[in-house]
Amino acid sequence: MKTKNLPSDGVAAEQKQALELILGALRKGDPDKVLRLFLREQAQNLFPDDRRTLEWLARTIGRRPTARLVSVLAASPCFNCEYGLVGCDNCEDAGHFDDEFICESCLGLGRLPCDFCGGTGLASIDFMPLGLRLAVFAIRVKNAEKQFERLLQVPMPSAQCAVRAFNRRTDFLFALNRQISVLETTVGVVRNFVKVPHSLKGRVTRIANEAVRISLRGENKLASTVEAMLGACRACTESNEKGSKAYKLAVARMKYFGSLLQMHPRFKGTYLEHPFLSEAAKKQLQKKKLSARE
Ligand SMILES: [Zn+2]
Ligand SMILES: [Zn+2]
């Protein structure tokens, strides 16, 4: 850090110039550029790259622009996918083989969560400046909660046509699963957070607990959505001729979704299972029980 050479106003001319570029990219709404510039300046030791980053930014550019910068970084998208989803290579996006066999990689849906971002659709945490990660997480959890509230209020999508109802419920399932994935990666990363300074431990725990609390409500909705998808398949068997392609596919899907719902734990081994969250939820419950006993 070049703090020693700073002029009396506390900011070196080079830093000022670099910050102006970043603020310009921020105004243009270009998160990629903001991130790239920020990391470059950190690599060149022009900006602090430890937990002082946030405080330094707030002091240098002001609280508002700092908050804006963090929220832009928190929302910056994954470069590998769209909204957390990629096509399925196994079935070439069809979701099934010959209308009779469901592709287990994508649960018969032709798309699956992107490995790169854990299905969040957001830039991986590895790309985030170290000193801003906690702030980014806190915002991601807050955003996920908002999205959750919205999704939990949405009545189960329906449609006159069974196929359309199935597709709409599938979109809903993916939207919900995406928000759960945001919370899960938060809990996962917060848990293994690189060198959390002691003073931040409380905050890290609070963020993780919050993520678990919100996600529990979403997990049940995942199951009821799959049930609704199964219902749409049933309607499909009723409206299509026995032995037709549409009929066969609907039967195969019903069987497959039925088996997913009966797994213990639910959705075991599939991308709808969120082991980090379940584990964290269990721990929270144990702690609550212990403290109630004390
Ligand atoms: Zn597939
Ligand atoms: Zn992705």
Domain spans of the chain, in order of start? 1-76, 142-293
Side-chain-side CA neighbours of residue 110 (13 Å): 10
Q: pTM of the full predicted structure?
A: 0.86
d(CA 221, CA 83): 20
The pLDDT value recorded for residue 281 is: 83
CA of 294 to the centre of ligand 1 (A): 50
Q: Is 80 exceeded by the pLDDT of residue 196?
A: no
**What's the mean pLDDT in 175-201?**
77
Band of residue 195 on the pLDDT scale cut at 50, 70, 90: low
pLDDT, tens digit, for every residue of 142-187? 898 899 889 988 888 888 889 999 999 999 999 999 999 998 888 7
- Is there a cis peptide before residue 157, judged by omega within 30 degrees of 0? no
Segment among 15-19, 132-136, 210-214 with least mean pLDDT: 210-214
Give tens-digit pLDDT for 240-291: 999 999 999 999 999 999 999 999 888 999 999 988 888 888 888 888 888 8
Distance 170 CA to ligand 1 centre (A): 14
Q: Is the pLDDT of residue 7 over 50?
A: no
Mean pLDDT of 13-19: 90
Which residues sit with Cβ closer than 5 angstroms to ligand 1, an ion? 88, 90-91, 103, 105-106
- In 3-state terms, what secondary structure has residue 79? coil
pLDDT given at position 104:
96
**Residue 190 near residue 208 (C-beta atoms within 8 A):** yes
Between the CA of 286 and the centroid of ligand 2 the distance, in Å, is 34
Q: How does pLDDT run across 29-87, given as a tens digit for each residue?
A: 888 899 999 999 988 888 888 878 999 999 999 999 999 999 999 999 999 999 999 99
Rounded to whole angstroms, the Cα distance separating 123 from 73 reads: 8
Q: Is 11 exposed, middle or buried (0-12, 13-18, 19+ CB in 10 A)?
A: middle
Report which bound ligand comes closest to the CA of 182. 2
Task: Report how far ligand 2's centroid is from the alpha carbon of 124 (Å).
Answer: 8
Q: Which amino acid is at 115?
A: D
**pLDDT at residue 191 greater than cutoff 70:** no
3-state secondary structure 127-180: HCCHHHHHHHHHHHHHHHHHHHHHHHHCCCCCCCCHHHHHHHHHHHHHHHHHHH
Q: 72 is written with which tokens? A: 């832009």
Q: Residues 73, 98: contact at Cβ < 8 Å?
A: no
Q: Give dist(CA 135, CA 120) in Å, integer.
A: 17
pLDDT at site 3: 39
Distance CA 34, CA 72 (A): 8
Q: How far is the CA of 88 from the centre of ligand 2 (A)?
A: 13
Q: Which residue has the tokens 């009723």?
A: 238
